[in-house]
Amino acid sequence: GASKAGVLIKGSNYMETLSQTKIVVFDKTGTLTKGVFEVSGIHHNELENEKLIELAAHAECASSHPISKSLQRAYGKPIDRSRVSDIGLTATVDGMKIAIGNDKLMEKLGVDCIPCHCVGTILHIAVDGKYAGHIVISDIEKPDARAAIAALKRTGVQKTVMLTGDTKRVAGQVAKDLGVDEVHSELLPADKVTQVEKLLAEKSPKAKLAFVGDGINDAPVLSRADIGIAMGAMGSDAAIEAADVVLMDDDPAKLIQAMDIARK
């Protein structure tokens, strides 16, 4: 029945543990969020939004970083590399010197930047040494994540926890949006194991702890939890190998289905 629903359970003992789960720990990126970055705001710009994105996309065209890719997607047209030269810390586009980066870069270049109150990655832009505004790039929450967390609480899960390497501010905002009880941010992969061990030590012996993750660096945490759940068959082989339960979809609602089947 579980495998028909796209839930692979590697043994009846894991099904038993799944039915007794009272604490669910999530990795954030790719589990509760899509792990896809998109431009979510453009502020304090004197240039038109489209023009600022166009300059930014061209200035960042040599990078394969997900954030650079998101600028190119937002621009939505082919990049004309002949317009770009001197790519380094800054780049020259159409003869204008474009600098893109965080507060530290602007400070280094002697440009006064305007801080942003939105949550996400903030890219400040300077054109010919003058501040031209900033672009906000955010990871998108999965549409069903909030409903899945609420459903977990209804089905008797006592505590939901989110672990992430992201900044405190971004993590806090996501946790608040999704209704997660506890959040730990700015963690390295090894710190995630430490946090799970802490939670295991604090809980009552009968309550079981499940960890849900999708990435390659989640493998150590998946094997440390009472039950490790790898989400999305698109997850890494290492995560799928280390997990006790594999959810074939990227949909957090599959977790509720898996628990319902285990309890039944």
Q: Which of 27, 218, 244, 251 is catalytic?
A: 27
The one-letter amino acid code at 35 reads G
Query: For position 245, what pLDDT does the model report?
Result: 95
Both structure tokens of 95: 């003869």
Q: What is the pTM of this model?
A: 0.79
Query: For position 212, what pLDDT does the model report?
Result: 95
Q: What is the mean predicted confidence (pLDDT) over 118-131?
A: 93
- 236 sits in the region (left: phi over 0; alpha: psi -120 to 50; else beta) called beta
Model confidence at 233, pLDDT cuts 50, 70, 90, reads low
Question: Using an 8 Å Cβ cutoff, are 44 and 37 in contact?
Answer: no
Question: Using an 8 Å Cβ cutoff, are 49 and 74 in contact?
Answer: no
Poorest-confidence range of 15-19, 29-33, 210-214, 242-246?
29-33
Distance CA 125, CA 119 (A): 17
Query: For position 117, what pLDDT does the model report?
Result: 85
Percent of the chain predicted with pLDDT > 90? 77
- 226 catalytically annotated: no
Alpha helices per DSSP H over the chain: 12-19, 49-59, 66-75, 103-108, 145-154, 168-178, 189-202, 219-224, 237-242, 253-263
Count H helices and E strands in the chain, helices first: 10, 13
* Whether the predicted pLDDT of 234 surpasses 80: no
* Whether the predicted pLDDT of 66 surpasses 70: yes
* Whether the predicted pLDDT of 30 surpasses 90: no
For the chain, the average pLDDT equals 93
